């Protein structure tokens, strides 16, 4: 268990994450964290469930229009 202290950061509040927590979450400076309310409390994760859906859609389009996308990329 890790305890974080809430601190004033400019006009907002924030928490400093220890290096070990950042490594476990695979987070770096500038990354976005998804905050989800659950029955057991709040879940922090670097994972965005919409990303998987977007990647599936991209793969379908990419496989169907590979040549056109390659030409547009030039």
Average of pLDDT values for 42-47? 84
Taking alpha carbons only, the member of 30, 3, 8 closest to residue 18 is 3
Cα separation, 14 vs 6, in Å, equals 5
Average of pLDDT values for 9-33? 91
Question: Is residue 2 scored above 80 in pLDDT?
Answer: yes
Q: How far from the centroid of its chain's Cα atoms is residue 52's Cα?
A: 12
Cα separation, 23 vs 44, in Å, equals 14
Q: Are strands 12-15 and 34-38 parallel, antiparallel or unpaired?
A: unpaired
Cα separation, 27 vs 19, in Å, equals 10
Confidence category of residue 47, pLDDT binned at 50, 70, 90: confident
| Predicted structure pTM score | 0.52
Domain boundaries, the chain: 6-73
């Amino acid at each position: 268990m890790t305890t974080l202290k809430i601190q004033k950061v400019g006009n907002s509040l924030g928490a400093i994450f220890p290096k070990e927590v950042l490594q476990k979450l695979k987070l770096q400076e500038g990354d976005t964290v998804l905050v989800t309310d659950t029955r057991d409390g709040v879940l922090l994760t670097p994972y965005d469930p919409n990303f998987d859906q977007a990647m599936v859609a991209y793969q379908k389009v990419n496989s169907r229009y590979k040549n056109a996308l390659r030409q547009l990329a030039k």
